Amino acid sequence: MTESVAVLDYGSRWLKAGWAYNFPTDEEPRIMTPSAVYVDQDGTAGKTAEPSSASELHHPIRAGKITNWDEFESLAHYTLYELLGWELGNEGSIMLCEPLLTGRPDRETMTQLMFEVFNVTGLFCQDQAVLSLFAFGRTNGLVVDIGHDKVDVATVTEGLQLSEESAEALKELCIRCADSEAAFNSAITSPSPETFTLPDGQAFTVHSEGLRLAEALFQPTALLGVLGPNIAEAAVDSAACLLEPLLRKLMYENIILVGGGSVIPGISARFISEVRALVPMSANAVLCPAPEYMPSPSVPRDAAWVGGAVLAKVAQIQNHFIVKADYEEAGPGAVHRRCT
């Protein structure tokens, strides 16, 4: 197989697409489109979300799970054919970056969709946590992925995992993270107002709202009423499940913070500070920097896509892609044989 390989990373907020052969380059991923479609009154899904459309806006991916396959098909078709430049009858191969804990039925449905509807010549799938580590040049580590509507924490060893638009724009403009819980409490007691201008020209003044958005990751119970660990506690709990002390230490020494939420100003320092407060000093908990050879805009925000581009090249050379002969022999279940 020598054709170009498309890489598609699908999440609740964004679909990212590009070509593996171009990477690493600042141009990839070249496509970043909202994970939303407009649906006409007759129920027909359109191509993608358009702010001026009077149609109802639907989001076919929720918390990393595809909830409407027809709408996802329309979104993927628009992304791959109209934005990325696929041609009917000459689609080529695709690498899919799968959300954490994607179930077997969903993997099989995706495989069937790719071969029977999109007519791909080859398919490979891999977990986003594993791919994010590959983007950092690692196969072992603790991955904390702060996404649009979920936070995933996963431990990975040897490359294997162990077990609206205006509001969104305003959130991305004003969100920031306090240095500590004490700093957060001080800031909301005497907030300093700031004014932000949206792309459409609207201006908003916010006080402590930006800090509250990020602080919810560290105080989910107090601010959201959600019972459970904060992101630092979840990371430590995930590593603590590993029985081998040396393996736990390996996780702490290879922590990566990825996803759209990882670019919140101040969050990296706050996160690693809280992790270090929860583990012994001998654990040497550190955040891994992005490799120097990687384009800085791509990591860590697009880490899963970047890892997918890296793996796509390797999988293609080693003939690991599922091809049509595999699909015709084993059906959608072929994905479980090749993509573990």
Say whether both 157 and 30 belong to one domain. Answer: no
Q: Report the CATH number that the domain containing residue 302 is assigned in CATH.
A: 3.30.420.40
Q: Is 272 found in the same domain as 149?
A: yes
Give residue 191's pLDDT: 65
Q: Which domain holds residue 60?
A: 5-135+295-338
Q: Report if residue 289 sits inside a domain.
A: no
Residue 214 carries which side chain, given as an amino acid letter?
A
How many separate domains does the chain show?
2
Q: How far is CA 58 from CA 23, 43, 50, 52, 153, in A?
A: 32, 11, 11, 15, 27
Same domain? For 43 and 72 the reply is yes
pTM of the complete model: 0.76
- Asked if 13 and 148 count as a contact pair (C-beta separation under 8 A), the reply is yes
**Which positions ≥6 away from 205 have C-beta within 8 Å?**
193, 194, 195, 196
Distance of CA 163 to the CA centre of its chain: 18
Q: Are residues 146 and 237 in the same domain?
A: yes
As a whole number of angstroms, the distance between CA 332 and CA 142 comes to 31
- Residue 189 forms part of a structural domain: yes
Q: Cβ neighbours of residue 2 under 8 Å, at least 6 residues apart?
A: none
CB atoms within 10 A of CB 150: 16
Q: What is the pLDDT of residue 269?
A: 93
> Does one domain contain both 130 and 145?
no
Per-residue pLDDT of the chain (340 residues; tens, 9 = 90+): 446 899 999 999 999 999 988 677 777 888 999 999 988 766 666 655 554 456 788 999 999 999 999 999 999 999 999 999 999 999 999 999 999 889 899 999 999 999 999 999 999 999 999 999 999 989 899 999 988 888 898 888 877 766 545 556 656 666 677 788 887 777 777 666 777 676 656 676 766 667 777 888 899 887 778 788 999 999 999 998 887 889 899 999 999 999 888 888 899 999 999 999 999 989 999 999 888 777 665 678 888 998 999 899 888 877 889 999 999 999 999 999 888 7
pLDDT at 200: 59
Same domain, 154 and 224: yes
304: enclosing H helix or E strand: helix 303-317
Residues 146, 268: one domain? Answer: yes
Q: Is residue 288 part of a domain?
A: no
Which residue, chain included where needed, has tokens 């070249």?
30
- The reply to whether 198 and 129 lie within a common domain is no
The answer on 151 and 130 residing in a single domain is no
What are the angstrom distances between the C-alpha of 321 and each of 43, 75, 303, 337, 339? 35, 24, 21, 11, 8
Answer yes or no: do 230 and 247 share one domain: yes
pLDDT at 107: 95
Let me know whether 190 and 118 are in one domain: no
Q: Are residues 118 and 196 in the same domain?
A: no
Q: What is the pLDDT of residue 1?
A: 42
Tell me if 188 is assigned to some domain: yes
